[in-house]
Amino acid sequence: MGLQDDVARVLITEDELQTRVAELGWAINEVYNDDDRPLLVCVLKGAFIFLADLTRHLAMRHEVDFMEVSSYGAGTESTGVVRILLDLEQSIEGRHVLIVEDIVDSGRTLAYMARNLQTRGPASLRICALLSKPARREVDVELDWVGFEVPNEFVVGYGLDYAEEYRSLPFIGVLKEEVYAKSG
């Protein structure tokens, strides 16, 4: 009866996720120092768990802020339309900005975000994405750090949802087709 019953198989285990997130943290530690005081921009909602884990591996002084954009309806396909639902609280002019994203699918969300944030005059703009699904890419985006490349399957867990559920699963799993086939 649990959420886990809707998962066909585990793609990335909790241990693998935690190990990789720590590695990403160490790699990011090589790039910024205290004086940079980077601003991590968490792309809500999917990236909130990744951000929470990643931030605790960062050694330099840094801040976090949040942006929510929407490219999907309740289904599984990107509409290509990106809307800002929640904008940053602070100005990023002259700041070192690191976008933290859970998954890059078509690339439209990040392409839009990078373009939008770039117009605000940051000192630098980098992107760290936990997952990338290259098979689905429609727009090229340069990713500075990627946790895992995943196959073209419907993945949930560790922040990623289907119809707002499954975000709390501690692993990345493939959703059973019958779960999302039901709602078309």
Residues that bind ligand PRP (CB under 6 A): 43-46, 70-72, 78, 101-109, 161
| Residue 160 CB-half CA count within 13 A | 22
C-alpha 58, offset from chain centre: 17
Distance CA 107, CA 161 (A): 17
Q: What is the number of the residue whose Cβ is closest to ligand PRP?
A: 46
The residue (of 32 and 101) whose beta carbon lies closer to ligand PRP is: 101
Residue 164's region, left for phi above 0, alpha for psi from -120 to 50, else beta, is: left
Least Å distance between CB 32 and ligand PRP? 23
Instruction: Respond yes or no: is residue 87 known to be catalytic.
Output: no
Nearest-10 Cα torsion for 133, 134, 140, 142: 70
Task: Please tell me which residue in 15, 53, 105, 161 is annotated as part of the active site.
Answer: 105
Instruction: Evaluate whether 96 touches 26 at the Cβ level (below 8 Å).
Output: no
Which tokens belong to 160?
């990623």
Instruction: Evaluate whether 117 touches 87 at the Cβ level (below 8 Å).
Output: no
Residue showing tokens 């039901």: 182
Least Å distance between CB 81 and ligand PRP? 10
